[in-house]
Homo-oligomer: A and B are copies of this chain.
């Protein structure tokens, strides 16, 4: 590890492998297909590893993710409406690998169908996205779902529904209520679709925060967690993983201790991102792997300010530390290279080649 320049992204491969195996085992045990979202790791070799463990397919959001992940698994899901240039990019990928697209409007169906016809590739499957409370994308009710499904045809083929329960991340008792509401809503939508002759073959749900409760919403046929591969400070804070399941850290060097009560490391918002901690009371932008009581209290682009008020530890200029970021997906997207270690030994390095766009 001494040879890794800072700031540097470091993945504990033992933890990564345990995280991948745990989720696949859970899905297998409950008869759920696992379609991991690759936006977290952005690396084709990891998508292939997930498929090798039994993932039925992988999920992507962007054209570059679709291109890089095509062929890594039996079936690609683009969990994002393909408008404009995205439609052409996805149509091209569909010529290489079986592809589904999630969307929520007849206009998106129309543009995707036109792109598939222009490309002359095979049909693309469509999942109609439902809003189940996240208030992001997704049709609001069953009638709207029927309308979008009916807009599909031969170039884009209706296959089912998708939802993203990203709003369900609360304490267990509130999760209970939210999951019950989800069950009721899904039963109603699926009944209406069935009456219209549009019974969904696929019901795709589930993200990391509630992934291990997916069997409580048995109408789901598959789940799409992404963060579980690496986990992060937020995932641990909401109880969706143990702190020791956090596989990804930013290795950083102490560059200044001149201002009393703090130390400055060379990991700022361009390494950790400025995403807030979503869960728990601790605040800040990350915490030390070996000293949970030390948080990154403030960030500049290239500076992270470690708050030393809760520790007797007094770092020296040149010391190196490992930081668990609040949100791993956006941190990975900032990296040119990610380093995999066993203990302190560097085993392999890779480029997160699906980052950005293009």
**A→B interface (CB under 8 Å):** 5-8, 39, 61-63, 80-81, 83-86, 104-105, 107-108, 111, 129, 131, 135-140, 144, 166, 253-260, 262, 264, 266, 269-270, 273-276, 298, 300-303, 305, 316-318, 320, 329-330, 333-337, 356-358
Contact = CB atoms under 8 A, between A and B. Distances in A.
Nearest to A144: B258
Contacts of A140: 258-260
Contacts of A83: 253-255, 266, 317-318
27 contacts: A5-B84, A6-B84, A6-B85, A7-B357, A83-B266, A83-B318, A84-B320, A105-B258, A105-B317, A107-B316, A107-B317, A107-B318, A108-B256, A108-B317, A129-B258, A136-B300, A136-B303, A137-B255, A138-B258, A139-B258, A140-B258, A140-B260, A144-B258, A269-B273, A269-B330, A270-B333, A333-B334
Given A140-B258, A336-B356, 9 more contacts: A62-B302, A80-B302, A83-B266, A136-B259, A137-B256, A139-B258, A270-B330, A274-B330, A334-B334
Contacts of A274: 273-276, 330
Nearest to A80: B302
B333 A356 contact: no
B260 A269 contact: no
Nearest to A106: B317
Given A81-B256, A255-B81, A336-B358, A329 B301 contact: yes
Contacts of A260: 140
A285 B166 CA distance: 20
Nearest to A40: B301
A274 B80 CA distance: 20
A71 B104 CA distance: 51
Contacts of A104: 256, 258
Contacts of A63: 5
A332 to B, nearest CB: 10
Contacts of A131: 258-259
Nearest to A105: B317
A106 B208 CA distance: 46
B259 A84 contact: no
A330 B80 CA distance: 24
Nearest to A61: B302
A99 to B, nearest CB: 17
A108 B316 CA distance: 11
A272 to B, nearest CB: 11
A71 B112 CA distance: 47
A41 to B, nearest CB: 13
Question: Which of A107, A138, A305 has most B Cβ within 10 Å?
Answer: A107
Q: Which of A259, A335, A357 has the largest number of chain B CB atoms within 10 A?
A: A357
A355 to B, nearest CB: 8
A291 to B, nearest CB: 20
A144 B256 CA distance: 13
Contacts of A80: 255, 266, 302
A59 to B, nearest CB: 12
A258 B104 CA distance: 7
Contacts of A270: 330, 333, 356
A50 to B, nearest CB: 19
Contacts of A258: 104-105, 129, 131, 137-140, 144
